[in-house]
Structure 1
Amino acid sequence: MSKTVVSLALLLGIFVVPTSAFGLPELLEKLWPKETGQVFDTVARIPYNELLNDNPYVDPFIVHSMKNFGFFYVVDVPDYDASVEDEYLQQFFNLPEKVKADTEIKRHNPANKNAYRGYCPGLDDVEATLQYKEVFNIGPHETRAPFYDDSLSNDLEKLKYECSEANVWPETDNCTFDKGFKEVFQTGFDMRRNIARAFVRSISRALGFPNLPSLFSEDEFSAMGLRRYPVRSERTNKNMFSDFDGELLRELEHIDSTVTVLSTFNNGGLQMLYKNQYMNAPVTGDNAFLVNIGKLVEDIIDNQLISVRHRVIETAYTRHSITYFLGPAFDADISRSMTGYITEAGHKYRIFGEWIKDYLGAIELFYY
């Protein structure tokens, strides 16, 4: 075991005996890749089973990574092969436009009823926007209440009903593809949700916030976005360049809002802001996920961990990724932090549903 890992373990006070079949030295060695002199070498790499089994020994490593870098990796995910997801993702985006149109949200195809779940073309005006990408959005619901009575509720209750919109799945002349696509991404959604909730439990233990997981007991508006960034024409506009350093971007510089579980596959381009400089984040590869939090969650946990600013620089190839967001329950009180301070959102909103209503009105749906 490297001296750096041992020293950091002692510094963090790791005295909990792991419950897995591995001994503590072997598990500590797995937390980080071999040091190569890169700034993100010591970003924590947490084994999936250790996180999901609520092994408290991982908590200080997660907290250390989140405090210093704003993200960490979940690795060694059993029975998971990211290349399978990547293949289905690419197959969907390569379907004929007429087939994809059947799954479009109603903003793009008024003939459809789905407002949130489904396909968002997003390639209408390459000359005017940075957000040159296609997205297919998946949520937690396969069915919902079949009837809604407008006369018995207010706008928030109506939005809560709409948030439980059922998923829309592609229907092609290839039944094998249709079945595989649905099963793979239903499984992938559940896996990412499990990771996000286990992460919330981990930081609730580590930071001494036992009530934190209760805010995420329901996830009406959690979402997983399959993303495709096609190769862009040589034409650019000022919106495509960073105000920070002039770099040509594929995804704008931003901070997320909730809990994020990201798959970049083997695609480079993701950069994290570290000590006022954007640095390349290691790819997630075939068997890992990247986890970070957004500003809303940072405020709720009294700014004990950081929400990292990040971006994707321009690449010379079509780039794919999958981003999952776990938000609080629709009725979760986000107005105060875990220790009772008014959050930034709390100056205007009490529950997450109020916040998400305005948030969705201010941006293109699910382009966050």
Structure 2
Amino acid sequence: MSKTVLFVLGILVPVTAFLDLSTIIEKLWPQESDGVFGPVARIPYHDLLNDNLYIDPFVLRSMQEYGFFYVVDIPGYNASIELDYMKEFFSLDEKVKDKLAIKRHNPDNINAYRGYCPGLNDVESTLQFKNVFNIGPHETRAPFYDETEDSALEKLRYDCQEANVWPDTDDCVFDKGFKEVFQGGFELRRGIARAFVRSISRALKYPDLPSLFTEDEFSAMGLRKYPARQMKNTNMYSDFDGELLRELEHIDSTVTVLSTFHNEGLQMLYKNEYWDAPVSGDNAFIVNIGKLVDDIIDNKMLSVRHRVLEVDFTRYSITYFLGPSFDADISKSMTGWITEAGHKYQVFGEWIKDYLGAIELFYY
């Protein structure tokens, strides 16, 4: 199959001979769309997962200019099914959900991260007001470590490999459907995140980058419910511009695949101003990277700062995070510079311990 390289939108684009260039540009880079984020790239799922080279410059350009892009046209996926299961789960009796709660909320349970995390109900004191159900890549627990012989790092490796917990109600149809839908949703997002890593490794000519993500012991998918709040406090206002927020301003750490469904409120920082990000809708995901990954790739992309405005309805979202392998060296960038994390940590497993400790105290 013959290939050509075309200079489009200031970037070099390899295009197979049979592809119609105008269709590609309109699909991946809709220049005439409304809003400041109208030009954000829309990458077809099939082309991303199949490593079609023509998408790489569009992914790169969108990530460098805006810090995110959309994955669209996902065969067999309908976000409304996930949303319906989320709503049904979060409406279960608290006694049922408590059986799945992490040990911070239910001392009888052994999991620290995988499971249900009820939101703090004291709106006067909480910065974050949400309920979360966390899902990971493991269905069975790793073999137990030897306290007398194994290192602290091996204990941490064991802790990171918590097995998932799933609803066990009187409705076996719901239980089975919930587990199957979100197991499938986890695999779908993991595939997208890994394909994105491969794309940026090609675009930036960092062939060793995917090797840092061969395992994903602590990848995580969080089903999130943000209940409508009846009260407000000073902690809920932005220090940046005074806006009332549902989710505080922050930058992620690893690779993020986000579903906002049709819920508005997400804003991305662009040229020192927050703008509304188009929703992901029924058949798309939003993809971005965080500071840790951006450092590894020599800060050649934008780890975008974002937030969620306070809204007057109960808001749902799903956030998937793909981190490097437990043993991945995060101390240096792809060109050998010491990363910010590298001043304290050598491998990702060491970093994740402190990061998760801070997250647990802050959010839960």
Smaller-chain TM-score bracket: over 0.9
Given that residues 18 and 55 in structure 1 are in contact (C-alpha distance below 8 angstroms), is that contact kept between their aligned partners in structure 2?
no
- The normalised TM-score by structure 2 is 0.95
Query: 2:109 aligned to 99, 107, 112, which one?
Result: 112
2:74 paired residue number: 77
1:16 CA drift (Å): 2.5
The whole-number CA distance in structure 1 between the counterparts of 2:24 and 2:174 is 39
Find out whether 1:219 has 2:216 as its counterpart. yes
Which runs of 5 or more residues in structure 2 are unaligned? 1-5
Query: 1:346 aligned to 337, 342, 347, which one?
Result: 342
The whole-number CA distance in structure 2 between the counterparts of 1:125 and 1:327 is 32
AA aligned opposite 1:230 = P
CA 366–214 in structure 1, closer or farther in 2 if over 3 Å, else same: farther
The whole-number CA distance in structure 1 between the counterparts of 2:343 and 2:56 is 31
Given that residues 330 and 351 in structure 1 are in contact (C-alpha distance below 8 angstroms), is that contact kept between their aligned partners in structure 2?
yes
Q: Which deviations, in whole Å up to 9, do the C-alpha atoms of 1:25-83 show, x marking residues without a partner?
A: 32332114462441101100000000000001000000000000000000000000000
Query: 2:152 aligned to 152, 155, 159, which one?
Result: 155
Given that residues 116 and 365 in structure 1 are in contact (C-alpha distance below 8 angstroms), is that contact kept between their aligned partners in structure 2?
no
Deviating 4+ runs (over 4 angstroms): 365-368
2:179 paired residue number: 182
Query: 1:265 aligned to 261, 279, 303, which one?
Result: 261
Query: 1:170 aligned to 167, 170, 177, which one?
Result: 167
CA 18–67 in structure 1, closer or farther in 2 if over 3 Å, else same: farther
1:363 CA drift (Å): 2.2
CA 361–219 in structure 1, closer or farther in 2 if over 3 Å, else same: same
3-state SS of the aligned residue for 1:58?
A: helix
CA 18–288 in structure 1, closer or farther in 2 if over 3 Å, else same: farther
AA aligned opposite 2:150 = S
3-state SS of the aligned residue for 1:16?
A: strand
1:240 paired residue number: 236
Given that residues 18 and 57 in structure 1 are in contact (C-alpha distance below 8 angstroms), is that contact kept between their aligned partners in structure 2?
no
Alignment of 1:243-258 (within 5 A): 243-258=239-254
Root mean square deviation, CA, Å: 1.7
Q: Which deviations, in whole Å up to 9, do the C-alpha atoms of 1:65-117 show, x marking residues without a partner?
A: 00000000000000000000000011100000000001000110001112111
The whole-number CA distance in structure 1 between the counterparts of 2:143 and 2:175 is 24
Find out whether 1:129 has 2:112 as its counterpart. no
AA aligned opposite 2:56 = D
The whole-number CA distance in structure 2 between the counterparts of 1:164 and 1:96 is 28
AA aligned opposite 1:327 = G
AA aligned opposite 1:17 = T
The whole-number CA distance in structure 2 between the counterparts of 1:29 and 1:9 is 12
Find out whether 1:305 has 2:304 as its counterpart. no
The whole-number CA distance in structure 1 between the counterparts of 2:349 and 2:142 is 19
AA aligned opposite 2:344 = K
Q: Which deviations, in whole Å up to 9, do the C-alpha atoms of 1:155-201 show, x marking residues without a partner?
A: 21101111111100010000000000000000000000000000000
Find out whether 1:280 has 2:279 as its counterpart. no
Find out whether 1:332 has 2:328 as its counterpart. yes
Given that residues 257 and 296 in structure 1 are in contact (C-alpha distance below 8 angstroms), is that contact kept between their aligned partners in structure 2?
yes
The whole-number CA distance in structure 1 between the counterparts of 2:17 and 2:37 is 25
AA aligned opposite 1:85 = E
- The normalised TM-score by structure 1 is 0.94
AA aligned opposite 1:102 = K
Find out whether 1:194 has 2:176 as its counterpart. no
3-state SS of the aligned residue for 1:289?
A: strand
Aligned length, in residue pairs: 359
Q: Which deviations, in whole Å up to 9, do the C-alpha atoms of 1:223-247 show, x marking residues without a partner?
A: 00000000001x2221100000000
Which runs of 5 or more residues in structure 1 are unaligned? 1-6
Given that residues 231 and 316 in structure 1 are in contact (C-alpha distance below 8 angstroms), is that contact kept between their aligned partners in structure 2?
yes
Find out whether 1:355 has 2:351 as its counterpart. yes
The whole-number CA distance in structure 1 between the counterparts of 2:67 and 2:234 is 29
3-state SS of the aligned residue for 1:42?
A: coil
1:4 paired residue number: none
The whole-number CA distance in structure 2 between the counterparts of 1:45 and 1:8 is 19
CA 129–367 in structure 1, closer or farther in 2 if over 3 Å, else same: closer
1:146 CA drift (Å): 4.3
Given that residues 144 and 158 in structure 2 are in contact (C-alpha distance below 8 angstroms), is that contact kept between their aligned partners in structure 1?
no
The whole-number CA distance in structure 2 between the counterparts of 1:343 and 1:280 is 31
The whole-number CA distance in structure 2 between the counterparts of 1:340 and 1:242 is 37
3-state SS of the aligned residue for 1:284?
A: coil
The whole-number CA distance in structure 2 between the counterparts of 1:334 and 1:79 is 36
Q: Percent identity over the alignment?
A: 72
The whole-number CA distance in structure 1 between the counterparts of 2:44 and 2:294 is 24
2:3 paired residue number: none
1:16 paired residue number: 15
Given that residues 255 and 294 in structure 1 are in contact (C-alpha distance below 8 angstroms), is that contact kept between their aligned partners in structure 2?
yes
Q: Which deviations, in whole Å up to 9, do the C-alpha atoms of 1:114-133 show, x marking residues without a partner?
A: 21110000223221122100
Find out whether 1:91 has 2:88 as its counterpart. yes
3-state SS of the aligned residue for 2:15?
A: coil
The whole-number CA distance in structure 2 between the counterparts of 1:12 and 1:196 is 23
Given that residues 238 and 245 in structure 2 are in contact (C-alpha distance below 8 angstroms), is that contact kept between their aligned partners in structure 1?
yes
Q: Which deviates the most, 215-224 or 144-153? A: 144-153
